[in-house]
Amino acid sequence: QQQVKQSPQSLIVQKGGISIINCAYENTAFDYFPWYQQFPGKGPALLIAIRPDVSEKKEGRFTISFNKSAKQFSLHIMDSQPGDSATYFCAARRDTGRRALTFGSGTRLQVQP
């Protein structure tokens, strides 16, 4: 049973467009929701993270929207650039007890010039 479901599996966006990746979770004990960005040949790297006490967090062109009641969160990449082409993973974790990250299945984003 996959606890964090991510969509779409792949996404093609034109340069300057908005990329949107969605995730849904089931475990209400999760209290930390990071997004990781992975380039080919590299490991995942933390991009941005949010906690459920806020509905939105923005860092530059990257924004997380969080809907606690719906148990959903999404990543928005504004003004998408070819350099944003990568695989994006949403994840969730508890602050107490089990500290492992539970990941979504990943979204391969391609930004066309």
Partner 1 sequence: EAGVTQFPSHSVIEKGQTVTLRCDPISGHDNLYWYRRVMGKEIKFLLHFVKESKQDESGMPNNRFLAERTGGTYSTLKVQPAELEDSGVYFCASSYLQGSGTDTQYFGPGTRLTVL
State the number of CA atoms in the 13 A half-sphere of 91 facing the CB. 19
Residue (13 or 106) nearer to partner 1, CB: 106
Report the C-alpha gap between 87 and 21 in whole angstroms. 11
Angle at 24 between CA 7 and CA 92, to 5 degrees: 105
Asked if 35 is part of the footprint of partner 1 (rule: CB under 8 A), the reply reads: no
Asked if 4 is part of the footprint of partner 1 (rule: CB under 8 A), the reply reads: yes
Residue (36 or 73) nearer to partner 1, CB: 36
Asked if 57 is part of the footprint of partner 1 (rule: CB under 8 A), the reply reads: no
Residue (66 or 89) nearer to partner 1, CB: 89
Binding mask 74-103 for partner 1 (x = CB under 8 A): ---------------x-----xx-xxxxxx
Report the C-alpha gap between 111 and 104 in whole angstroms. 21
Asked if 104 is part of the footprint of partner 1 (rule: CB under 8 A), the reply reads: yes
Asked if 33 is part of the footprint of partner 1 (rule: CB under 8 A), the reply reads: no
- What are the tokens at 5? 């479901």
State residue 4 phi and psi, 5-degree precision.
-125, 115
**Which residues are near partner 1 by CB under 8 A?**
2, 4, 6, 32, 34, 36, 41-46, 89, 95-96, 98-106
